Amino acid sequence: IPADEYKKCFEKFVERFQRCIDSEGDYFE
């Protein structure tokens, strides 16, 4: 896997994770 593809994928994952936290603060409880 090229480094940029990995980075792009990782950034997309982080963004989704952040959105989860923003929309539901108690998501992990």
DSSP the chain: --HHHHHHHHHHHHHHHHHHHHH-TTTT-
| Contact between residue 21 and residue 27 where contact means Cβ atoms under 8 Å apart | yes
Cβ contacts of 27 within 8 Å, gap of 6 or more: 20, 21
Q: What is the pLDDT of residue 14?
A: 92
pLDDT value, residue 1: 73
Give the pLDDT of residue 5. Answer: 92
pLDDT in tens, 1-29: 789 999 999 999 999 888 877 777 655 55
How far apart, in whole angstroms, are the C-alpha atoms of residue 29 and residue 22?
A: 14
pLDDT attached to residue 15:
92
Predicted confidence at residue 7, as pLDDT, reads 94
